Structure 1
Amino acid sequence: MTSATDPRRALAATRLIATDLDGTLLRDDKSVSDRTVAALAAAERAGIEVFFVTGRPARWMHVVSAHVHGHGLAICANGAAVVDLHAGGEVLKVRALAHDTALGVVHALRDAAPGTSFAVETTAGFYHEPEYSAPFLQHNLESTVAVADAEKLLAAPGPGIDTQVIKLLAHHPELDPDAFLTVARAAAGGLASITRSSPTALLEISGPGVSKASTLALCCAERGISADEVVAFGDMPNDVEMLNWAGTSYAMGNAHPEVIAAASGRTVANNEDGVAVVIEQILRELPQRTG
């Protein structure tokens, strides 16, 4: 995180906005407010690129696909995939989790936190164990390709020799979410990147070094955009690395304590259009770029 001595000057230098979705850009009812839609469109008209950077898989991006203009790209699955929303969520880049690494994480978490169940997110779809019961599965928000033990799903042919694992999901029915994350990182943090974005004890596991921040940095480098020219928004632990990397960053009013500690600033809650509030401020400062 870059320390800006003049916050207004930092906002005036903005070339890219990177925002999380759930709990950040989206309201609790998963809608995008009219104010936020208008702010996103105004930012892109002003020449600022907008990236949605989320833990969601590409197929869950329909809630915002109509609000990406310009390049139409989004970073999904906590940095494991870059998708083209103009092309119906076509995956352009994958930073996969190796099957054998995923198996190593499964074995480590079975030992460290008995009762953990697993699901596998791949380029071909979603697979899970019989015991897996994360909230989105319970509410039929997910279309399952196959049900089997993780060891079978991750061993060839499993989900398919040609299928890339985007992330592993681990759910515990009893542990506190932050406590589960601590246990998992101690047991398997040397094998993979482990984080969380759910209010439940649901962990998201990606390949080593894969995060929202690292993939955003790659996308920015391709465009000649530096970290100091990025403004980022988030609310949960899976946003911490991105907020630390961006030159200017905001924790939502509803953010997790780790996010508040990582961000350089704070805005109001997602239900109060906190992202739009800051974008409107950025647009007010833009004349200072050339003035």
Structure 2
Amino acid sequence: MIDFSGIRLIAADMDGTLLNSKHEYDKGFPALYDHLKTKGVFFAPASGRQLYNLQNTFGELGSDMIFIAENGSHVQYQGRDLFVQSLPMDQVPELIRMARGITGVNIILCGKKQAYLESREPEFLRHVEMYYDRRVFVDDLLAVEEDDFLKIAICDLSGAEANSYPVFRHLEGELQVKVSGKIWLDLSHQLANKGRALQAVQQQLNISVEECMAFGDYLNDVEMMKQAYFSYAMTNAHPEVKKAARFETRSNEENGVGEVMQKVAEAIDRIR
């Protein structure tokens, strides 16, 4: 039997993990989260989503959550930045030019202040509105200044893993080149990923890997699986995530995250 009684930090990806296909968390999540919080357990949504989107998704419930946003490029707790890892400014123009050369993709320049868009293509905007709450249209992404750029997100409706990823694959090692969803490819600083962000949180709060639990489903979650002893891949996860994780739980449609969190709560209740 697994002993969950020492858990102090739980990190969970959002889409495909904590949230169901309607982009909703389970109705029992708020009470479960509040209960764990009273027991001293921290919760960190860890997502490719924008910080402001994560904050708005949870509202008042998230006032004490640790937000790991933009695939680990931006971490904030109670209004204070714990970690920011932006792209080198001199790399951004060339990456945008490369992305522009791929047929059928749309680009989001993800700044710390807000997201910047050129395209107004309706299907693209439908996805943008789901993940980026602070956004502005510009005539030319190359002309954007006075912001820290956390990542470049490429929305590839043809399929990111097969279509746009091969264009940037040779840059792995120099950058984080992550397929973060079926239609999403994210380009970030070499040192920006959810695992390093989680490590920064652990160091700030003096929490060990053995006291940490993480849930994920896609390729941008692999490093996070390695930074938590209790690493869980969803049943619906990408095969590479299942290889990286120690354990597996039910799908996001079956509240797999909540099921394990409930076991954590029960274990902690017995001793705290």
Q: TM-score, normalised by structure 2?
A: 0.87
User: Which residue is equivalent to 1:220?
Assistant: 202
User: Which residue is equivalent to 1:33?
Assistant: 26
Letter in 2 for 1:55: G
Offset at residue 105 of structure 1 (A): 2.8
Matched, 1:239 2:233: no
Task: Check 1:214–1:134 CA distance in 2 against 1; reply closer, same or farther (3 A cut).
Answer: farther
Task: Check 1:178–1:139 CA distance in 2 against 1; reply closer, same or farther (3 A cut).
Answer: closer
For the residues of structure 2 that align with 1:146 and 1:45, how far apart are their CA atoms? 42
Which of 232, 236, 241 in structure 2 is aligned with 1:254?
236
Contact 2:83 2:197 in 1 (8 A): no
The superposition leaves residues 9-34 of structure 1 with CA deviations (integer Å, 9 ceiling, x where unpaired) of 3x222111111111111122122222
The superposition leaves residues 256-289 of structure 1 with CA deviations (integer Å, 9 ceiling, x where unpaired) of 2221121111111112111110011112222676
User: Which residue is equivalent to 1:183?
Assistant: 166
User: Which residue is equivalent to 1:146?
Assistant: 137
Which of 247, 252, 263 in structure 2 is aligned with 1:270?
252
For the residues of structure 2 that align with 1:110 and 1:207, how far apart are their CA atoms? 20
For the residues of structure 2 that align with 1:73 and 1:24, how far apart are their CA atoms? 17
Letter in 1 for 2:136: V
For the residues of structure 2 that align with 1:250 and 1:166, how far apart are their CA atoms? 27
User: Which residue is equivalent to 2:112?
Assistant: 123
The superposition leaves residues 104-123 of structure 1 with CA deviations (integer Å, 9 ceiling, x where unpaired) of 33345566x55544220112
For the residues of structure 1 that align with 2:70 and 2:240, how far apart are their CA atoms? 20
Letter in 1 for 2:203: A
User: Which residue is equivalent to 1:4?
Assistant: none
Letter in 2 for 1:100: D
Letter in 1 for 2:246: S
For the residues of structure 2 that align with 1:203 and 1:140, how far apart are their CA atoms? 13
Which of 38, 42, 51 in structure 1 is aligned with 2:44?
51
The secondary structure found in structure 2 opposite 1:97 is coil
The secondary structure found in structure 1 opposite 2:40 is coil
Contact 1:181 1:194 in 2 (8 A): no
Letter in 2 for 1:34: K
The secondary structure found in structure 2 opposite 1:100 is coil
Contact 1:108 1:187 in 2 (8 A): no
Matched, 1:207 2:189: yes
The secondary structure found in structure 1 opposite 2:162 is helix
Contact 2:45 2:65 in 1 (8 A): no
Matched, 1:283 2:265: yes
RMSD: 2.6
Contact 1:120 1:169 in 2 (8 A): yes
Which of 54, 57, 63 in structure 2 is aligned with 1:63?
57
Contact 2:169 2:177 in 1 (8 A): no
Which of 183, 189, 197 in structure 1 is aligned with 2:180?
197
Any stretches of 5+ residues in structure 1 without a counterpart? Answer: 1-6, 153-157
Contact 1:254 1:270 in 2 (8 A): yes
For the residues of structure 1 that align with 2:9 and 2:122, how far apart are their CA atoms? 34
The secondary structure found in structure 1 opposite 2:110 is strand
After TM superposition, the runs of 4+ consecutive aligned structure 1 residues lying more than 3 A away are 90-93, 106-111, 113-117, 132-136, 171-174, 287-290
Matched, 1:82 2:75: yes
Matches within 5 A, 1:4-23: 8-9=2-3, 11-23=4-16
Figure out how many residues of one structure are paired with residues of the other and give that number: 268
The secondary structure found in structure 2 opposite 1:22 is coil
Offset at residue 37 of structure 1 (A): 1.9
Over the matched positions of the two proteins, sequence identity in percent amounts to 26
User: Which residue is equivalent to 1:155?
Assistant: none
The secondary structure found in structure 2 opposite 1:32 is coil
For the residues of structure 2 that align with 1:30 and 1:185, how far apart are their CA atoms? 29
For the residues of structure 2 that align with 1:245 and 1:185, how far apart are their CA atoms? 26
For the residues of structure 2 that align with 1:248 and 1:31, how far apart are their CA atoms? 24
Offset at residue 206 of structure 1 (A): 1.1
Which of 165, 168, 173 in structure 1 is aligned with 2:152?
168
Task: Check 1:73–1:65 CA distance in 2 against 1; reply closer, same or farther (3 A cut).
Answer: farther
Q: TM-score, normalised by structure 1?
A: 0.82
Any stretches of 5+ residues in structure 2 without a counterpart? Answer: none
Task: Check 1:183–1:280 CA distance in 2 against 1; reply closer, same or farther (3 A cut).
Answer: same
User: Which residue is equivalent to 1:106?
Assistant: 96
